[in-house]
A and B are shown apart, each in its own frame.
Chain A
């Protein structure tokens, strides 16, 4: 078991802004081949089952959400302005899509609608019951 696993002493870790997110940050400055290697190294080091969940949203909705965050004085996660911000988001989304080719990911299309959440909830339940081998 990895040092992280021993330290946490947990059965399940839900990681928002987890290791994949760190790899994405690094991937903004490297090639797809490099970041594919980084993800594989990460998995090998952790010696744990990793379920990848990709959350995506349209660029227009994304920009609106980020704008609202800034106005609400919450954390600013994207340090860029105007067109640069849009380009940066496109780059990140491109990397996310490439990760999907490398790994078998669950994808959540955030349309900010209630039924979308409900559909994803069903998907998660199905996934938890099968892939994570839950005995309900």
Chain B
């Protein structure tokens, strides 16, 4: 199995609260896992970069190299943007 995309493909699930977004997202994730993709599930319950879960995730990111057949199921994608901002700021302070 191979994909012809330059960057990651984003499957953006949207709808009203209570419409069934989680169910659909999990169904799509399961399908991808069945197709041989490695499921890398990160669920961000708290939109806060200081939350322990997010700090563990930052640590994990630095330890993981590039792997094919990889995808993430993210509940709050905008928290990643926040993580990036936080990480850049931290690097700038170190320098």
Contacts and interface: CB of A to CB of B under 8 A. Distances in A.
Is A bound to B?
yes
Interface of A: 1-5, 7-22, 24, 46-57, 62-63, 65-66, 69, 77-78, 89, 92-93, 96, 99, 108, 110, 112, 117, 120-121, 124-125, 128, 132-136
A54 B18 contact: no
Given A16-B22, A62-B18, A66-B17, A11 B76 contact: no
Interface of B: 1-25, 27-29, 31-32, 35, 37, 40, 61, 64-78, 80-81, 83-84
A2 to B, nearest CB: 7
6 contacts: A10-B8, A11-B70, A15-B74, A52-B14, A96-B15, A124-B27
A24 B31 contact: no
Contact of B12 (A18, A56, A57, A132): A18
Please report whether the interface of chain B is mostly helix, strand, loop or mixed according to DSSP. Answer: mixed
B37 A11 contact: yes
Contact of A49 (B10, B13, B21, B74): B10
Given A3-B84, A4-B80, A10-B40, A15 B7 contact: no
A8 B24 contact: no
Contact of A12 (B11, B18, B65): B11
A57 B84 CA distance: 34
Contacts of B61: 7, 9
Contact of B37 (A2, A5, A12, A99): A12
Contacts of B4: 133
Contacts of A134: 1-3, 35
Given A20-B12, A92-B16, 6 more contacts: A3-B84, A8-B8, A51-B10, A53-B24, A57-B16, A134-B35
